[in-house]
Chains A and B, each alone.
Chain A
Amino acid sequence: MQILRILFLRLLTTLVTLAGVAVIVFFVIRVVPGNPIAMMLPPGATEADVARLSALYGLDKPLPTQFGIWVAGVMQGDFGTSITTRQPVLQLVLSRLPATLELSIMALVMAVILGGIAALVGTRRRGTGTEGAIDIANGMALSVPDFLWGLILILVFGVLVPVFHISGRVTPSLDLPFTTNFYLFESLLRLRFDLWADIVSHMFMPALALAIPLAAIIGQLLKQSLKETMNLDYVTLARTKGYGETRVILREALRNAALPTLTLVGVQFTFLIGGTVIIERLFSYEGLGNMAIDAVINRDLPLIQGIVILFAVIFVAVNMIVDLLYAVLNPRLRHA
């Protein structure tokens, strides 16, 4: 019963959040200067042309009416039609979503691995020069933002030592047998490792650029809480049982130390997803973020609304998953 109530409340707050996002995005993009009709018509179009086109897209009605029409559509799963491509927004957005999800998850996995290794090695070698080197590397990784890491990576692995592709999601000349847009996963499922390698080679640098700052945060926080945990009584007791230092860290300390880090990773992961907008642009990666920038440039109002709502849904989902993981890792919450 308890768990159902929590889920219900959670769902309710989620709906309120999404409604708020919908209101804000709808009105803000209509208040800022620039309108889609002006972008579509060639120079020298008459007032009558503008009025006709506005009527066609329903932009001549008062704002509250427009909002009502949009919300009514959204309720039925209709997010409207993109002004620039004349395709349904939902279809456009969902076709790009897999690319961004794959990129974000790849970046998250990289960040957890890099940050985790930094924290574990730093804890194992605490008090030595190795720990100092890790701290310095962490500080450097943190003080450079993701898009700058993107440029640095392009310079190093795209220009100086060209080992990775610097643009796109997959080599365009390749024949893709995929039925979904989850290229990375589907190529693995179909055992097409040649395609998989090509996709990874495209994804590697944008994912790494997104991962480096997050890896540094994970590394710092996890190392800090590992160090504190290593002084606790149950860790000392485990030492007297004959366990070596590495086993003590992995077996006794890691799980308890990971809890505070997990919450933070959840929050930071949503920032990382936000970072995909610029990073996808930088690497011409065909994802949601890249589409969002195009949509803003073209004042494609329905498309902007659709993308922002989808991002909001992703953020809410990430927070939910983090809460669930936290409960799984922490037995004290599971029974409460």
Chain B
Amino acid sequence: MASKEYDTFILSDLSGVPEDQEMEMILRDLTPTDRRYKYRSFYASAIVSKSESKYPDLLWVRLGRGQLQEKPWSIKIIKEVNKFG
């Protein structure tokens, strides 16, 4: 199965983002089965790596004003987190 793709906005220095540690983040689904759900956002507990191949899915990174970084990272989503009860 082809890997899925997500993106996220990182507002801090990219070098400070912890790799290989579970953390909570907001992701947007870029490759949903139903295209109407593209860019659906959700909170997730996930592990990321700046290596494109380490984890099963691709993670594109944008900075605070939407600037897309050239190379994707990889991500493993542990679970979706529901913030609204």
Query: Does B associate with A?
Result: no
A interface residues (Cβ-Cβ under 8 A, vs B): none
